[in-house]
Chain A
């Protein structure tokens, strides 16, 4: 009997010891040789093109690893496909955090997808770094979500920048707006309205469309009837293309403003030249398809990194702005990790991410400073306006910025 009691005690002690040993690591995702980052992006489905952001970032991390890593640690980057479905983004994120034990989530893509995972990541205290969405909430609501930070210029700011330019350049602006009827399109529209201030009545017509609609061309005819001389296309991907086709088909010649996330050169070359000619957008990253960067050091570096370290590349990757955008973000990520120091913690990386003052990112326009403070969490707010002429984007004027929100 006694022997049995002793045995039982031994077993219990062993179980307790094992349980103690199996306690979660104090600092998951970081070892002396490795830093694990995770992401969830669309690699399939209608937004698959944008998923190349992760491929660009991955190539840059491999390049950094080949050059000694960050304090001797190699960055291992796992990005999973969510097909742009927020539900799958949640599953991916939980898998990355709980199964792969990543140190942080880096550059997940899509407004809804980032909204869907934000609560979980903040509850777990896992950094949600440099999200690929310009929704203002990711920079604004840091008190409620201290582990989240944005990256690209907020849509509200973009709207304001167009407004200021319109007020400068047009004596009698009459603005028509086509916008996607969700957070993204409404953020842009509100920015435009705020930027116009007292002149908000210059918006003579606006129509929202649902992201699941099939064709927005009839809406363009509707907008044309307002006799506006300016058309703002705050539409995503194929809808922005349809809008250009609609303008061309209607024989309308307004000054067009097209929002940044739909202004990829690869899209702009598709509609008839008469429609896209002279269109204006904003830009913060170097566009590898734009001739002015053909001999730029940053773009050369981008192309050599992609050729050497890229994997799973889509056709035309070396001219694809999504890849440069990913590399720009990865550059800031590496910068942040360096700033966070040798003894890497999640709190430390958040501190570093909210004290950025990065002036040397080779993948964004010269002069742009990636700048954050604990109360200003919009890393990129400086942009240039650019005009589409002769089949390419041409930045013009000085760097401009507007307060987001």
Chain B
């Protein structure tokens, strides 16, 4: 067991080193793209806790991101709060909303729960329109452009990068601790069999609701960072496809592997924004002729790559990592 801990600590240390060093080796703009990957990663870790560990499906996490984003926008634009201080508040507001959603989730499971959460994702964008006087309505709110505080000399993109990844690493540690201690074990027990868990004296409803709250907290933080990076929120900045993309990231990453989620986050961001590059590459293949500037071609490329990935990696990147590392880890474990 100790060896496993050591391995995990080692890979975390490697990740920290990579995160610190990476911006020096890529362009300023690429560090901004990596920051966005970090935001997806935060949301995916939250979703991983919910789906991978507590076994509840959510197709509506985009709505929690929107709640986080709007909290940041309203605090900053209407109340003059500095952007970084709004981040934890955004997380808490989204988390509270998550707890509320967690209550009906107790009565539903599987596809029914998925439908309820999808309903939330569809309905949420209407709320800011209804209460336009303090959310900016359909036009939305324009925030200040991101800028490093405390007189730090760094570009806005590097600032976004370090801010996002500092938070992401912190939240990753929190998730790791949660999952390796009592709540994590309880969630897994609930996921594997609710009846058995209840029979062993676990308060199933409390733990299920808690999972929703925590995962919404993560989504809220990610949504808040999105708003800061984009410096604009309106109902269209958190579209329904965002919720779907998160589920895609989860499937590609492997729901119960924190390391795999990193790949899931990168996959979703790059494929969404660079599908035209995939189409351009596919154009060079024999027997394929696509014009990336034609309507819909990038979407087709996105879909094709997604199908391929799911066919080749049915257990996600996490499953692949697990298989690749098994010879190493099993030896380590048997020794300990």
Interface residues in chain A, defined as those with a beta carbon under 8 Å from any beta carbon in chain B:
43-44, 48, 51, 55, 80-81, 84-88, 90-91, 94-95, 98-99, 111-112, 115-116, 119-120, 123, 181-183, 210-212, 311-312, 314
B28 and A86 contacting across the interface, CB-CB below 8 Å = no
A81 and B276 contacting across the interface, CB-CB below 8 Å = yes
Residues of B near A51 (CB, < 8 A) are: 295
* Chain B residue nearest to A100 in the complex (CB): B29
B254-308 contacts to A, CB under 8 A, are 273, 276, 291-296, 298-299
Known: A86-B236, A86-B237. A119 touches B29 (CB 8 A): no
- A314-B236 Cα distance, complex, nearest whole Å: 26
Q: Could you list 10 examples of A-B contacts with CB < 8 Å?
A: A48-B296, A81-B298, A87-B237, A90-B230, A91-B230, A95-B29, A115-B140, A116-B231, A119-B142, A212-B126
Q: Which of B138, B237, B238, B273 has the most chain A CB atoms inside 10 A of its CB?
A: B138
Q: Is B32 an interface residue (CB 8 A)?
A: yes
A116 and B29 contacting across the interface, CB-CB below 8 Å = no
- A269-B143 Cα distance, complex, nearest whole Å: 42
Q: Is B137 an interface residue (CB 8 A)?
A: yes
Q: Is B164 an interface residue (CB 8 A)?
A: no
Q: Is B139 an interface residue (CB 8 A)?
A: yes
- A88-B36 Cα distance, complex, nearest whole Å: 12
Residues of A near B140 (CB, < 8 A) are: 86, 112, 115-116
Q: From residue B224, how far is it (CB to closest CB) to chain A in Å?
A: 14
A94 and B138 contacting across the interface, CB-CB below 8 Å = no
Q: Is B38 an interface residue (CB 8 A)?
A: no
- A116-B292 Cα distance, complex, nearest whole Å: 26
A99 and B29 contacting across the interface, CB-CB below 8 Å = yes
Q: From residue B282, how far is it (CB to closest CB) to chain A in Å?
A: 15
Q: Is B27 an interface residue (CB 8 A)?
A: yes
Q: Is B191 an interface residue (CB 8 A)?
A: no
B294 and A312 contacting across the interface, CB-CB below 8 Å = yes
- A278-B202 Cα distance, complex, nearest whole Å: 72
Residues of A near B298 (CB, < 8 A) are: 43-44, 81
Q: Which of A84, A87, A181 has the most chain B CB atoms inside 10 A of its CB?
A: A87
* Chain A residue nearest to B273 in the complex (CB): A91
A90: which of B126, B157, B232 is its contact (CB, 8 Å)?
B232
Residues of B near A116 (CB, < 8 A) are: 140, 142, 230-232, 234
Q: From residue B143, how far is it (CB to closest CB) to chain A in Å?
A: 9
